[in-house]
Amino acid sequence: MDFLVIRMKIIPVWFFVGLLLAIYGVLILSSGLIEWSNPGAVVLARLHAPVWWGALLALIGIAYCIVYRPR
């Protein structure tokens, strides 16, 4: 009966959180890069917040995916 034992690997929820953060980061970063050439009429548009925010989210998401990857 021991040969019928199935080992199930549990994928941590933090891996999926990392995936979502990375995907959202890439989407926000790409929209910020597109917006860079044609900034809006917002007061602080020169700071390019979507570029920085998207890069930060993507880096955090990639870090979560590396740390919590299923083994």
The position carrying tokens 């920085």 is 52
User: What confidence score (pLDDT) does residue 46 get?
Assistant: 87
User: How confident is the model over 36-71, as pLDDT tens digits?
Assistant: 988 888 888 889 999 999 999 999 999 999 999 988
pTM of the model: 0.82
Q: Region 19-29: what's the mean pLDDT? A: 98
User: What confidence score (pLDDT) does residue 57 get?
Assistant: 98
Cβ atoms of residues 26 and 53 within 8 Å: no
Domain ranges of the chain: 10-67
pLDDT of residue 1 exceeding 70, the answer is no
How many angstroms separate the CA atoms of 58 and 46, rounded? 21
- CA angle in degrees (0–180, nearest 5) for 8-64-21: 110
